[in-house]
Amino acid sequence: MNAMLAAISGESVVQTLIYLICIGVVFWLIWWLISYVALPEPFNKVARVIVAVAAVVFLISILMGLAGHPIFK
């Protein structure tokens, strides 16, 4: 466990944190836009689920990238 923590540098953690904040703002704006446009109910739910799933997959990819095995390159 300690060997894995030593492999993650402080610089990569700071870069990842800034990247997560920027991407979080983008996903929040998309979420807000879906609410602002007021889509009819079935489309509203589908759009929110797509945004939520994309955010979770993206977050998992970023966190796995810290360990050296990102889902997307």
How far is residue 47 CA from its own chain's centroid? 16
> Which pLDDT band, with edges at 50, 70 and 90, does 11 fall under?
confident
Residue 58's nearest CA partner among 23, 16, 34, 25 is: 23
With beta carbons less than 8 A apart as the criterion, state whether 57 and 71 touch.
yes
- Written as one string, the DSSP assignment of 6-35 is HHS-HHHHHHHHHHHHHHHHHHHHHHHHHH
Determine the pLDDT at residue 7.
64
> Tokens standing for 34?
């879906």
> Which pLDDT band, with edges at 50, 70 and 90, does 15 fall under?
confident
Which DSSP letter does residue 22 get? H
User: pTM of the entire structure?
Assistant: 0.72
Determine the pLDDT at residue 5.
53
Read off the pLDDT of residues 22-73 as tens digits, 9 standing for 90 and up.
Answer: 999 999 999 999 999 988 999 999 999 999 999 999 888 888 887 777 776 6
